[in-house]
Structure 1
Amino acid sequence: MTASVTTYQRTEYPRPQFKRQSWINLNGTWKFAFDDHNVGEKGGWHEKPSFSTEIQVPFTYETKASGIGEEKFHPYIWYQRTFEIPKDEIGKRAILRFQASDYVTKVWVNGRYIGEHVGGYAAFSFDISHAIDHTKENELVVKVEDTQSCTQPRGKQRWTDKNFGCWYVQNTGIWQTVWLEFLNEESIESVKMTPNIDTGSIAFDYKLNGELAEDSRLETTITFSGKKVKQFSLTPDRLNIHFEVNLASEMHEWKVFHWAPQHPNLYDVTFRLYVEGELVDEVDSYFGMRKISIKNGQVLLNNVPIYQKLLLDQGYWTDTMLTPPSDEAMLEDIDKTLQMGFNGVRKHQKIEDERFLYWCDKKGLLVWSEMAATYEFSDEAVENFTNEWLEIVQQHYNHPSIITWVPFNESWGIPNILVDEKQQKFTEAIYYLTKSIDSERPVIVNDGWEHTISDIIALHDYEELGEAFYERYKDKDKILSSEITHNHHKYAFAEGYEYKGQPVMLTEYGGIAFNDDRGWGYGNQVDSEEAFLKRYQEITDAIKAIPYISGYCYTQTTDVQQEINGLLREDRTPKISLDKIKKVNDTRRTNR
């Protein structure tokens, strides 16, 4: 089955916050095969692949953009393509990188097994140097195994054969860029960057690879708008190094450029590793000097309270589903979000493409990064979730636009958290694990209701009437007590937990849909722009009028398959004037 569709190409460098020059993009046309009876490995498909179908990587077979467009679930799929090693890269280590592949990915090169990765949303890589032949074309074979199990982090991917509720067509296989990178034996593995605006300094945690000579030198050059701010060299005597540098300079009247939505200042930084006087690795990156903190029931950005006006953003496109079709498509979403007067997005049940986060860093759009949920609680689900969440927090730590981590949503995967101590302890463990890696950002456990320990109390309520909204939430002590349900069906806290002065936000509301029998929204559908705007303004103004609520998140940016409550259609055309939405968001907060 072949679908007629626009040809999409993902040719951009996939990891702009850790960029090298020596790389090859492996997106494009691959050979492809279904293996529903799982006979491929025993049958030696990895040794002698003869796949007759073609697929466009990085789009999954379920998408039109893949060239296949079949929505039926297939648990085992295979990919094959060839590649050559450029002459200039011969002798270097060849690293095969996947930005994301869902769910178990196995790799062979020239018939030789390389390894596997488990998880659908984290990036991963393999050193394939020992398996390649520099004198000929090399054969790359990939098998991806997926399931309909609710013990693996799925997010909004359905686990039945049909869409239902707010769950959509599954996402199977490679769905972000595949690429090759070439490194010397000695290289820079990663650099964790932690800003401190209170001291005007930035901390670097370097992780190096290889056997370093005594005269090795690690050089870091920091610039702003092309002008050098700082440059320093370290003599690495081990593979893990911590160093802090003060950024104060006369380039700015306050000595340091801060990052914020209204001025998303970014410092550029280049890392160079020299061995015996020779440059062996060079990486370009960037960072933002910003601080997220909590004080007196408010979220502070750079020590100043910030009222967050977020959009729930699920990141689906008509032809490509979870895979952004292009840089331009990601920029369109960001620009329209800003044009509507929102200052951030809650990236819902999806770990987004690195380039989306890059553009949020550049544009100044705040991001809540939310993990894809499991839907059962078991030892297997705990292990799957924990391992992948740990990878994700580490990989996305350096993005200044990410200001909040959201590991859990609406008790998904922890269905009895209200009373089950075991599930409660799991969320506590994830909270503290996240804090052990990143003490700088708030962590929300469990967005929507039934919180355990959480830096922000995030409540969901799809009330249609503004006055009812206000009356329900005006009494803070009552709404945050264990006496009543805040939205007529859920308590704000799990049993044994209580409010301790955290910021409170309405992080899902609205979801208004126009009359259309092809899908659904929350509450009654409306039949005109006037009716939409009246309801939207009344409920938004009601939230703003409640003094203790420090922000909101409207559902949602775009329609997604059968869920038609977006401010934009799935093709990104607006349903309502963007300026009229902005006018509501820009209305000043007033106490009633």
Structure 2
Amino acid sequence: MLDNTQMLKKSSSQSIDYPRPQFKRSEWIDLNGSWKFQFDDDDMGEKNGWFKGDILQENIQVPYAYQSKLSGVNDQSDHNVVWYEKSFEWKVTDKEAYLHFEAVDYYSKVWVNGQFAGEHEGGHTPFSFLIGSMLQEGENTIVIRVMDDHSVEQPLGKQSWKSENFLCWYTKTTGIWQSVWLEEVSQTHIEEIKMTPKIENASLEVVANISAHENPVYLEAEVYFKDEWIHASGVWIKANAKSAELTLDVQSDEADFRVFYWSPDRPDLYDIRFTLKDRKHVYDEVESYFGMRSIEVKGDRILLNRETFYQKLILDQGYYQDSLMTATYDQMESDLKKVKEMGFNGVRRHQTIADRRYMYLCDQLGLVMWAEMPSSFHFSNTAMIRTMNEARQLVNKHFNHPSVIIYTLMNESWGVNEIFHRKDQQNFVNALYFQTKALDPTRLVVGNDGWEHTLTDLLTVHDYNSDDVSMKNNYRCKDDFVNGSPSMTSLKQNYAQGYQYQGEPVLVSEYGGIAYGSQSKNDWGYGSRPESSEEVLLRLKQLTTVITETAFIQGYCYTQLTDVEQEVNGLLDHNHEYKFDPKKIKEIVSQKSSGFLFE
């Protein structure tokens, strides 16, 4: 075993391992790899003191769920309670230590050296515990108990709650499925940073949360663009104050229009370094970045940086054949580069919350992103509370990423199946909408994607019609379309009772779903199955042309990026390799562009 003086990694701007690329410190420990593991089907582990350590007998590869092949367990049967254990050497210093979990599904309890560190409910969002006071010189042990019964009252996303997969619900995920890591920090440190770009006055607003400190400290921020120093600003924070605000001017004479804007065509990013210090000591240094971009609605148009923006998205469910919802950096990068190569300018991350490196790659490559809250499937007080809580964490995770432009809070009335006529379900979606707007007023919000909208910034429609002629006829009259039931496949109304079209931009946020590449009786897609790749591309062109030639539609999202288990309608196969020539797909996707581009 290595101690922390040997294991501490020096992260760099090129690091692909660091789990949080937008909030980087230099000293951290990767805890992924081999852990002790055990099922606890009788749920007796806590009563029998498993949290004390040195009990578990099996092994697992973290961060892969036990249901996946790469976990080394590869067991698809249901086990509602699982335990993990990891030992490591530690050299005690005067510093504090964070134990970070990027995602653990669903309810976690954590002990360090037998001491209870904390608990967390929610299967898709990061959480951390300060554990410095629990660490000891020499060997230390982390033990985790995870409970996940796949209740329909918890946000599941695309995980099947039945004994087997069905329709578009897939293999379950239980336990740790994103990175686990340790980070050393000073007792006085930056806890959180929120950055809000203001392109109208070429500035960046920063709100920082600071740990407890008995004396005044100074927070300094320095901004760079491609290694060119742009601006610095700072603020003194009085003793024991928990937060601070500052504004940075990001104008540059080198920029064409005062600032370097972030967009899919030119994903320019600024680097920013935060330093927390006083007149004698430097307590904390954090490296980050931001993008100067705005997203807004004006009439029935969507504006990115005040210019009309036509969205050409692809649905990404984030599943991998051997690892389920867990991906390596290289896998995420390969997928997103293929998205760009096929001509799309964004992704709708569907029913799962991505690894933070995924958002980092979208920021770097120039892909807009829709962040989506995974759905529960039964309406109850418990389901509402759980969804509201995790939706807040969703916003916090995505807040600083310029690629993220839209939050989708519900999908196709899942978990609110009677929303069309039930006021309580309508009010719940509206509460989610207002909560999200309060936490992040800078982005657009879709309350219930696909149909039966209540409060929403966009009218988003799911239409899996495979016949372009009838599809075009349904889109012919905007007035009939927006307040009607335009999709022949769902037959759902666009708006719930008591709601109607208010002039929102219209997008077809799911369409296509053309199955190809497998003849298993259990595999499926939407519409009749084409017999050749040429037939797939022809149908893709015909359906996409209907959308792009309908003047009032402001974008689309094709279903989907990859085949996922029994659903074989991806443009990539189960191994995330091309099924079709990407140049031909790009020709179809490039039928319409928006705005004026400087070459």
User: Normalized against structure 1, the TM-score is what?
Assistant: 0.95
Residue 542 of structure 1 is aligned with which of 543, 546, 549? 546
Residue identity in the other structure for 1:297 = D
Match in the other structure for 2:301? 298
Match in the other structure for 1:44? 49
**1:453 and 2:458 matched:** no
CA distance in 1, matches of 2:333, 2:104: 23
CA 1:11–1:51 in 2, change beyond 3 Å: closer, same or farther? farther
Asked if the contact 1:342/1:585 (under 8 Å) is kept, the reply is yes
Asked if the contact 2:475/2:486 (under 8 Å) is kept, the reply is no
Q: Deviations over 1:427-484 (max 9, x none)?
A: 1111111001111111001100000010001000100111111101111111122577
Match in the other structure for 1:283? 286
CA distance in 1, matches of 2:46, 2:513: 46
Once superposed, which parts of structure 1, at least 4 consecutive aligned residues long, lie more than 6 Å away? 483-486
**Equivalent residue of 2:444, what SS?**
coil
Once the two structures are overlaid, the 10-residue window that deviates more, 47-56 or 190-199, is 47-56
Once the two structures are overlaid, the 10-residue window that deviates more, 233-242 or 292-301, is 233-242
Asked if the contact 1:82/1:138 (under 8 Å) is kept, the reply is yes
CA distance in 2, matches of 1:167, 1:487: 19
Matches within 5 A, 1:30-41: 30-41=35-46
Could you tell me the percent identity over the aligned residues?
A: 42
**Equivalent residue of 1:233, what SS?**
strand
**1:311 and 2:314 matched:** yes
Asked if the contact 2:53/2:85 (under 8 Å) is kept, the reply is no
CA 1:488–1:561 in 2, change beyond 3 Å: closer, same or farther? closer
Asked if the contact 2:459/2:504 (under 8 Å) is kept, the reply is yes
Match in the other structure for 1:118? 121
Q: Deviations over 1:114-154 (max 9, x none)?
A: 11100001100111122110x21101111100012101000
CA distance in 2, matches of 1:45, 1:209: 33
Match in the other structure for 1:54? 59
Asked if the contact 1:298/1:305 (under 8 Å) is kept, the reply is yes
Match in the other structure for 2:556? 552
**1:79 and 2:80 matched:** no
Asked if the contact 1:318/1:570 (under 8 Å) is kept, the reply is yes
CA 1:482–1:531 in 2, change beyond 3 Å: closer, same or farther? closer
Asked if the contact 1:515/1:525 (under 8 Å) is kept, the reply is no
The Cα shift of 1:233 comes to 2.0
CA 1:67–1:533 in 2, change beyond 3 Å: closer, same or farther? same
Matches within 5 A, 1:64-213: 64-86=69-91, 90-133=93-136, 135-213=137-215
Residue identity in the other structure for 2:85 = Q
Residue identity in the other structure for 2:369 = V
Asked if the contact 1:81/1:139 (under 8 Å) is kept, the reply is yes
**Equivalent residue of 1:264, what SS?**
coil
The Cα shift of 1:562 comes to 0.5
Asked if the contact 2:462/2:487 (under 8 Å) is kept, the reply is no
Match in the other structure for 1:351? 353
**1:23 and 2:28 matched:** yes
CA 1:584–1:220 in 2, change beyond 3 Å: closer, same or farther? same
The Cα shift of 1:487 comes to 4.9
The Cα shift of 1:73 comes to 1.5
CA distance in 2, matches of 1:473, 1:571: 36
Match in the other structure for 1:6? none
CA distance in 1, matches of 2:54, 2:252: 59
Asked if the contact 1:350/1:372 (under 8 Å) is kept, the reply is yes
The Cα shift of 1:573 comes to 1.5
Residue identity in the other structure for 1:587 = Q
The Cα shift of 1:47 comes to 1.4
Task: Tell me the C-alpha RMSD between the 2 structures.
Answer: 1.5
The Cα shift of 1:485 comes to 6.5
**1:568 and 2:572 matched:** yes
User: Normalized against structure 2, the TM-score is what?
Assistant: 0.94
CA distance in 2, matches of 1:359, 1:410: 28
CA distance in 1, matches of 2:381, 2:420: 19
Residue 527 of structure 1 is aligned with which of 514, 531, 547? 531
Residue identity in the other structure for 1:22 = E
CA 1:49–1:232 in 2, change beyond 3 Å: closer, same or farther? same
CA 1:405–1:18 in 2, change beyond 3 Å: closer, same or farther? same
Matches within 5 A, 1:207-222: 207-214=209-216, 216-222=217-223
CA 1:11–1:399 in 2, change beyond 3 Å: closer, same or farther? closer
Match in the other structure for 2:405? 403
CA 1:488–1:165 in 2, change beyond 3 Å: closer, same or farther? closer
CA distance in 2, matches of 1:50, 1:366: 46
Residue identity in the other structure for 1:250 = D
Asked if the contact 2:458/2:507 (under 8 Å) is kept, the reply is yes
CA 1:425–1:99 in 2, change beyond 3 Å: closer, same or farther? same
Gapped regions of structure 1 (runs ≥ 5): 1-9
Asked if the contact 1:272/1:282 (under 8 Å) is kept, the reply is yes
Once the two structures are overlaid, the 10-residue window that deviates more, 224-233 or 44-53, is 44-53
CA distance in 2, matches of 1:283, 1:192: 13
The Cα shift of 1:50 comes to 2.1
**Equivalent residue of 2:586, what SS?**
helix
